[in-house]
């Protein structure tokens, strides 16, 4: 009863606020609507897959790609650095552990934004770009125009090479399993990981020469594209709707099953009904969206078809050349080129955000790693010592696998923070989603729609990261009988 | 050996907080064990030792290089810390500093946290400090005479340190507060002796003005020092325990209210219109205090029952109505009337929870009267025009705006976070879903997007006749953002409460609200203190984002204002270094304090 009263008050207040906001929006003539996505805008971006995007939507897309680029790279490098720092913090060498703790205390206690701005200021006062700039002239260049190193990049043949490598992965996995079985059975040391890596390396080298044999995949992808082309839009709508309904039905059935035992079903409370209703309403909403918006299913069909056609052309004949090529930094022009066949370049603003985010997050990851390792009971390492494992062996086989389970959830949080923190790029002008969005709404005045796109994008990134981390957590959980 | 002797062992119970004694190795042994135990370790030591020297040298030559123009920071220190606060009004800032330090002294005295410091600990710190200064003198690009001075000072600290370390008994201690007093008094004394001055820009020329800083600040600092120390002595040594206990309770409340008091009365100096106050605010206060107090006194009577609830609900509807009517053109009602009505509704709804004996009911009414007084005073002060003439519409800037935004955000977001956490753990699915939805969305997006969103939306949610300044919108946005994180921390605490606590409270016949307010929340909040302090530090650090949206904060001055001054064109790094150091100083000390607090509270041990 009191719940309903409270609900009326809360919902009433919200409706009131929403009405108020709507009135005010109209009164102040604040524009809403997403038409800027298709309209042309005159925006010049500092870097990205397309520096002169034609439409507002395209500009935001470039920003999204830039955000993802810096987030993924940042996560990989910050993890490596963080693990090293966490281990260094636990080192028995006084000087090493002291350096690690000073590093952590410094990085954690200075706001990331200040760090990024500071790094950017330092990069801007470096030497200018010249033929012999940098620690290794021509190869490794550090200048006020950015940091550049040679880069390996894929040609058309790389698709066939990767397809070949997938076979290699399967074989390597099989070899690894066989070796582990042998080791378990006989007790002999068989180096399973080492041999799997060896198999992979052999496949990589062989594939470099014989990768055109994978060209037969081209017609296969072509057939897939034709298949998708023959499916009608309404059939897909029907299928999607059926899938949503089936999913909801299965969910409710499983839930009811979990509530009942041999003796009958447990008494259902409000909360349980609410859950079931929620699942049903969700499914109905999905069906409604599918039928009310035919563009969705045709978009799905078309993009699937496009993807397979692209793959067909990549695998087709005439793509048998070298899979890879390497290029040195291109110093002939006054500024570095980030895309296309040239060296791998970090522009000053990218470098500032990247270095800042990596150094900052690594400090937190280091603390997580240290905490995780310390949380493994001391008896584990003592037992490992008692059965004669060396310190390295006990770390690798006993401590780290257990610590990993403890480290993983906070690590997921840090990855989330890193992805969100890349939005500070706006301070140094790296064209990430927030920076591009600011430019777009300054030009079109459509602040609220842009903010909505920001939020949707970051929410889906957060969701993706937490789904991956949760999956790993579930996989790593100790199976208890 | 160093182990405890029989006599100490025989002495009754050992002190519970005494740390286990560590065995001190002689220096040679220590170096062998910690630095050169294996060949690999030796290599690491040499490698990283060289790295430290290189890094330290790099930092020193960066800091003391000829390219650095530290004048840029020295001249603009005032701008960085107070922005355009008028100079002739600086006495207000002194009053604030004095108030805060005096209150801190009273708190330290009342809680008797003053402990003693081991002489050996001090000696070690002095030794290390002296050594670092000496080595820095060798590494930095100083002139010869400066190098000699640095080395002399370094040895001047190193040698007494070594002497104290070897000569004085290991157990000897000194009182911490005495030491702090001396540490505070020494720089203040130096103000009277050394003519510190600042640089002034006059017609594009930089002019050193020796003695200006010393002249203007030696008096105030001395007064502040004497008052604070006297207050500490008064509370810690003179006061009797029962008065101390009463003071302890009062101090917490004063800490919570003082930011409002300092900002809105002292720093802002509102020009009160006393006739208006006498004709409007005072009657309003009296009406709410007397009528509302009577209503609450009746509502807290134990046997009121269903009719009390209906009355409370009516008050709530009326309170919300006051906001609604203004939206539909029935404006003209004073904002304060609506706010007080809403507060009264909240008190009325909570009344059954606090019902009981006469004394409890009177206390509840007393709290209500104090709340009304505080609200009336606050709204009046905030709405009166400021007499402190500044360039922008809002007086503080620089570091003071950072501090202010952080403080108000914490004060606002904490209750909101607790409510969100309670909603998320409640049994009512609708509130749980709404709260979860809000928390997860806010936590899933970066602060800057929330800031932009709320900076637009908050003014839109308000009635059309109500204006809100940019900084207030920022504080509201920041609080809404921060509350989601607070809620997750509090939720952790809530989940750590054992089921037995709930069951025991129910067995005593408590209502749901009583259980939450008196049993669950106190324990949950205590358990969530460490993450909440972490969150506080994060909030303080993230205030730097205000610079992006154009608030005149600390970082904005260092990054945008100083490098564009014609005389200091491009002096960016100096200001940024100062910003880094200031943030570091505050957050580092906060995190150390939180670790100590954690140990003191024994979180996770009981």
What pLDDT shows up at residue A353? 94
- Smallest Cβ–Cβ distance between B460 and the set A21, A93, A416 belongs to A21
User: Does A328 reside within a domain?
Assistant: no
* Residue A234: domain span: 160-315
Q: Say whether both A117 and A227 belong to one domain.
A: no
Cβ pairs bridging A and B (under 8 Å): 161
Q: Say whether both A446 and A405 belong to one domain.
A: yes
User: Does A23 reside within a domain?
Assistant: no
Q: Say whether both B123 and B7 belong to one domain.
A: no
Q: Say whether both B329 and B471 belong to one domain.
A: no
Quick check: A413 contacting B, CB < 8 Å?
no
Instruction: Categorize the per-residue pLDDT at B16 as very low, low, confident or very high, splitting at 50, 70 and 90.
Output: very low
Name chain B contacts of A19, Cβ cutoff 8 Å.
Answer: 327
Q: Say whether both B523 and B585 belong to one domain.
A: yes
Lowest mean pLDDT across A181-185, A391-395, B595-599: B595-599
What pLDDT shows up at residue B601? 67
Q: Give pLDDT tens digits for B351-391.
A: 877 877 888 888 888 889 988 988 888 888 777 777 766 55
User: Does A95 reside within a domain?
Assistant: yes
Nearest CA in chain A to B466: A24
The total number of structural domains in chain B stands at: 4
Q: Are B572 and B559 in contact (CB under 8 A)?
A: yes
Quick check: B318 contacting A, CB < 8 Å?
no
Q: Say whether both B417 and B495 belong to one domain.
A: yes
Q: Give pLDDT tens digits for B67-113.
A: 777 777 777 777 787 766 777 777 888 888 899 899 988 888 887 66
Q: Say whether both A446 and A382 belong to one domain.
A: yes
Name chain A contacts of B434, Cβ cutoff 8 Å.
Answer: 10
User: Does B267 reside within a domain?
Assistant: no
Residues 6+ apart with CB under 8 A from B244: B109, B110, B112, B235
Q: Say whether both A170 and A67 belong to one domain.
A: no
Residues 6+ apart with CB under 8 A from B380: B270, B272, B277, B281, B336
Q: Say whether both B288 and B234 belong to one domain.
A: no
Quick check: A96 contacting B, CB < 8 Å?
yes
* CATH code for position B486: 1.10.3720.10
Q: Say whether both A395 and A293 belong to one domain.
A: no
User: Does B261 reside within a domain?
Assistant: no
* CATH code for position A375: 1.10.3720.10
User: Does B278 reside within a domain?
Assistant: yes
Q: Give pLDDT tens digits for B569-590.
A: 778 888 899 999 999 999 998 8
- Smallest Cβ–Cβ distance between A111 and the set B428, B444, B541 belongs to B541
- Smallest Cβ–Cβ distance between B45 and the set A93, A109, A115 belongs to A93
What pLDDT shows up at residue B389? 61
Quick check: B110 contacting A, CB < 8 Å?
no
User: Does B248 reside within a domain?
Assistant: no
User: Does A341 reside within a domain?
Assistant: no
Q: Say whether both B52 and B91 belong to one domain.
A: no
Q: Do A421 and B446 touch (CB under 8 A)?
A: yes
* Distance to chain B for A475, nearest Cα, Å: 24
User: Does B262 reside within a domain?
Assistant: no
Q: Say whether both A290 and A166 belong to one domain.
A: yes
Q: Say whether both A390 and A287 belong to one domain.
A: no
Q: Say whether both A306 and A168 belong to one domain.
A: yes
Q: Say whether both A175 and A244 belong to one domain.
A: yes
User: Does B116 reside within a domain?
Assistant: yes
Prediction ipTM score: 0.82
Q: Say whether both A298 and A395 belong to one domain.
A: no
d(CA B481, CA B457): 13
Q: Say whether both B39 and B142 belong to one domain.
A: no
Partner B, chain A 285-314, Cβ-Cβ below 8 Å: none
- Smallest Cβ–Cβ distance between A92 and the set B37, B445, B457 belongs to B37
Q: Are B491 and B438 in contact (CB under 8 A)?
A: no
d(CA A275, CA A269): 10
Dihedral sign, CA of A369, A375, A378, A379?
negative
**Last-in-domain residue among A315, A334, A354:** A315
What pLDDT shows up at residue B486? 92
Q: Say whether both B120 and B224 belong to one domain.
A: yes
3-state secondary structure chain A: CHHHHHHHHHHHHHHHHHHHHHHHHHHCCCCCCCHHHCCECCCCCCCCCCCCCCEHHHHHHHHHHHHHHHHHHHHHHHHHHHHHHHHHHCCCCHHHHHHHHHHHHHHHCCCHHHHHHHHHHHHHCCCCCCCCCCCECCCEEEECCEEEECEEEECCCHHHHHHHHHHHHHHHHHHHHHHHHHHHHHCCCCCHHHHHHHHHHHHHHHHHHHHHHHHHHHHHHHHHHHHHHHCCHHHHHHHHHHHHHHHHHHHHHHHHHHHEECCEECCCCHHHHHHHHHHHHHHHHHHHHHHHCHHHHHHHHHHHHHHHHHHHHHHCCCCCCCCEEEECCCCCCCCCCCCCCCCEEECHHHHHHHHHHHHHHHHHHHHHHHHHHHHCCHHHHHHHHHCCCCHHHHHHHHHHHHHHHHHHHHHHHHHHHHHHHHHHHHHCCCCCHHHHHHHHHHHHCCHHHHHHHHHHHHHHHHHHHHHHHHHHHHHHCCCCC
Nearest CA in chain B to A441: B452
Quick check: B431 contacting A, CB < 8 Å?
yes
Instruction: Categorize the per-residue pLDDT at A318 as very low, low, confident or very high, splitting at 50, 70 and 90.
Output: low
Q: Do A111 and B44 touch (CB under 8 A)?
A: no
Q: Which residue has the higher pLDDT, B603 or B319?
A: B319
Q: Say whether both A94 and A164 belong to one domain.
A: no
Q: Say whether both B25 and B1 belong to one domain.
A: yes
Nearest CA in chain B to A437: B449
User: Does A182 reside within a domain?
Assistant: yes
Q: Do B41 and A92 touch (CB under 8 A)?
A: yes
Q: Give pLDDT tens digits for B154-190.
A: 888 888 888 888 887 777 888 888 888 888 888 888 8
Name chain A contacts of B476, Cβ cutoff 8 Å.
Answer: none
Q: Give pLDDT tens digits for A14-26.
A: 787 777 777 777 7
What pLDDT shows up at residue A168? 92
* Residue B213: domain span: 86-242
User: Does A9 reside within a domain?
Assistant: no
Instruction: Categorize the per-residue pLDDT at A338 as very low, low, confident or very high, splitting at 50, 70 and 90.
Output: low
Q: Say whether both B94 and B200 belong to one domain.
A: yes
- Smallest Cβ–Cβ distance between A458 and the set B445, B460, B583 belongs to B445
Q: Say whether both B486 and B557 belong to one domain.
A: yes
The total number of structural domains in chain A stands at: 2
Q: Say whether both A171 and A97 belong to one domain.
A: no
User: Does B199 reside within a domain?
Assistant: yes
User: Does A445 reside within a domain?
Assistant: yes
What is the share, in percent, of chain A residues with pLDDT greater than 70? Answer: 92
Partner A, chain B 139-198, Cβ-Cβ below 8 Å: none
User: Does B264 reside within a domain?
Assistant: no
């Amino acid at each position: 009863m009191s719940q309903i009263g409270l609900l009326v008050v809360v919902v009433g207040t919200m409706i009131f606020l929403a009405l108020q906001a709507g009135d005010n929006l109209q009164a102040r003539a604040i524009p809403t609507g997403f038409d800027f996505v298709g309209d042309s805008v005159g925006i010049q971006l500092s870097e990205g897959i397309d520096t002169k995007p034609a439409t507002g939507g395209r500009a935001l897309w470039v920003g999204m790609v830039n955000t993802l680029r810096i987030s993924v790279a940042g996560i990989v490098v910050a993890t490596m650095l963080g693990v090293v720092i966490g281990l260094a913090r636990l080192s028995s060498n006084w000087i090493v552990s002291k350096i690690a703790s000073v590093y952590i205390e410094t990085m954690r206690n200075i706001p990331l934004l200040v760090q990024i701005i500071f790094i950017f200021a330092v990069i801007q006062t470096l030497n200018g770009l010249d033929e012999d700039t940098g620690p290794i002239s021509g190869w490794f260049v550090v200048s006020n125009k950015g940091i550049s190193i040679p880069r390996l990049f894929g040609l058309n043949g790389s698709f066939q090479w990767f397809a070949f490598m997938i076979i290699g992965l399967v074989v390597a996995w099989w070899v690894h399993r066989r070796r582990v079985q042998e080791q378990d059975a006989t007790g002999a040391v068989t180096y399973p990981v080492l041999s799997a890596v060896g198999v992979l390396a052999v496949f990589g080298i062989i594939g470099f020469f014989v990768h055109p044999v994978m060209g037969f995949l081209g017609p296969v992808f072509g057939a897939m594209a034709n298949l998708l082309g023959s499916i009608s839009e309404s059939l897909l709508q029907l299928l999607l709707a059926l899938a949503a309904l089936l999913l909801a039905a299965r969910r409710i059935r499983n839930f009811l099953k979990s509530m009942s035992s041999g003796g009958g079903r447990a008494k259902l409370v409000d909360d349980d009904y609410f859950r079931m209703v929620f699942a049903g309403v969700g499914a109905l909403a999905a069906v409604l969206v599918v039928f009310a918006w035919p563009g969705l299913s045709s978009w799905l069909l078309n993009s699937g078809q496009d993807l397979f056609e692209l793959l067909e052309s990549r695998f087709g004949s005439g793509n048998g050349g070298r899979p890879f090529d390497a290029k040195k930094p291109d110093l002939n022009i006054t500024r570095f080129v980030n895309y296309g066949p040239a060296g791998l370049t970090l522009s000053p603003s990218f470098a500032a955000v990247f270095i800042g985010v990596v150094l900052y997050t690594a400090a937190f990851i280091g603390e997580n790693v240290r905490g995780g390792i310390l949380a493994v009971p001391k008896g584990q390492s003592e037992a490992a010592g008692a059965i004669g494992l060396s310190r390295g062996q006990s770390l690798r086989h006993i401590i780290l696998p257990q610590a990993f389970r403890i480290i993983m959830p906070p690590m997921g949080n840090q990855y989330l923070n890193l992805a969100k923190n890349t939005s500070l790029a706006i301070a140094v002008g790296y064209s990430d989603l927030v920076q591009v969005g600011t430019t777009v709404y300054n030009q079109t005045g459509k602040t609220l729609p842009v903010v909505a796109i920001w939020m949707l994008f970051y929410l889906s990134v957060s969701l993706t990261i937490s789904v991956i981390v949760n999956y790993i957590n579930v996989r790593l959980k100790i199976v208890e009988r | 050996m160093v182990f405890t002797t029989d006599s100490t062992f025989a002495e009754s119970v050992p002190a519970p907080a005494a740390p286990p004694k560590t065995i001190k190795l002689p220096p040679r042994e220590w170096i062998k064990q910690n630095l050169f135990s294996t060949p690999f370790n030796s290599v690491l030591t040499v490698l990283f030792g060289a790295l430290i020297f290189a890094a330290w040298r790099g930092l020193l030559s960066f800091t003391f290089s000829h390219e650095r123009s530290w004048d840029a920071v020295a001249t603009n220190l005032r701008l960085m810390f107070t922005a355009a606060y008028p100079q002739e009004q600086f006495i207000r800032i002194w009053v604030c500093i004095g108030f805060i330090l005096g209150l801190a002294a009273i708190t330290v005295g009342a809680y008797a946290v003053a402990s003693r410091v081991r002489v050996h600990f001090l000696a070690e710190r002095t030794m290390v400090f002296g050594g670092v200064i000496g080595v820095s003198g060798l590494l930095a690009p100083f002139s010869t005479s400066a190098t000699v001075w640095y080395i002399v000072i370094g040895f001047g600290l190193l040698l007494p340190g070594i002497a104290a370390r070897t000569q004085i008994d290991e157990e000897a201690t000194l009182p911490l507060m005495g030491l702090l007093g001396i540490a505070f008094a020494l720089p203040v004394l130096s103000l009277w002796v050394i003519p510190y001055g600042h640089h002034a820009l006059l017609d594009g020329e930089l002019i050193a003005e020796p003695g200006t800083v010393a002249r203007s600040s030696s008096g105030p600092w001395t007064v502040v020092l004497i008052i604070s120390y006297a207050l500490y002595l008064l509370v810690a040594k003179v006061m009797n325990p029962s008065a101390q206990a009463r003071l302890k309770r009062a101090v917490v409340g004063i800490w919570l209210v003082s930011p409002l008091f300092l900002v809105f009365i002292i720093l802002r100096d509102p020009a009160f219109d006393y006739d208006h106050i006498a004709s409007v605010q005072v009657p309003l206060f009296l009406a709410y205090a007397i009528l509302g107090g009577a209503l609450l006194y009746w509502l807290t009577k134990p046997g009121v029952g269903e009719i009390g609830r209906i009355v409370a609900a009516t008050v709530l509807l009326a309170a919300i109505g006051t906001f609604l009517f203004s939206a539909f053109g029935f404006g003209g009602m004073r904002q304060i009337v609506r706010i007080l009505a809403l507060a009264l509704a909240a008190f009325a709804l909570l009344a059954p929870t606090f019902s009981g004996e006469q004394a409890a009911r009177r206390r509840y009414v007393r709290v209500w009267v104090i709340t009304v007084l505080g609200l009336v005073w606050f709204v009046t002060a905030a709405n009166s025009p400021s007499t402190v003439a500044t360039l922008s519409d809002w007086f503080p800037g620089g570091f003071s705006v950072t501090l202010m935004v952080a403080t108000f955000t914490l004060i606002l977001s904490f209750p909101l976070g607790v409510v969100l956490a309670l909603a998320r753990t409640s049994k009512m699915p609708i509130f749980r879903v709404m709260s979860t939805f809000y928390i997860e969305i806010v936590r899933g997006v970066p602060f800057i997007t929330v800031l932009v969103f709320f900076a637009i939306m908050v003014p839109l949610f308000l009635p059309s006749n109500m204006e809100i300044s940019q900084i207030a919108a920022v504080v509201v946005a920041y609080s809404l953002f921060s509350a989601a994180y607070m809620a997750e921390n509090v939720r952790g605490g809530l989940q750590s409460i054992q089921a037995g606590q709930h069951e025991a409270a129910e067995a005593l016949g408590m209502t749901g609200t009583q259980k939450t307010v008196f049993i669950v929340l106190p324990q949950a909040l205590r358990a969530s203190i460490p993450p909440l302090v972490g969150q506080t530090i994060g909030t303080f650090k993230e205030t730097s984002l205000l610079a992006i949206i154009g608030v005149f904060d600390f970082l904005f001055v260092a990054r945008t204002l100083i490098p564009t001054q014609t005389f200091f064109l491009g002096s960016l790094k100096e200001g940024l270094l100062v910003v880094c150091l200031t943030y570091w100083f505050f957050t580092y000390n906060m995190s150390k304090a939180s670790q100590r607090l954690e140990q003191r509270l024994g979180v996770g041990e009981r």
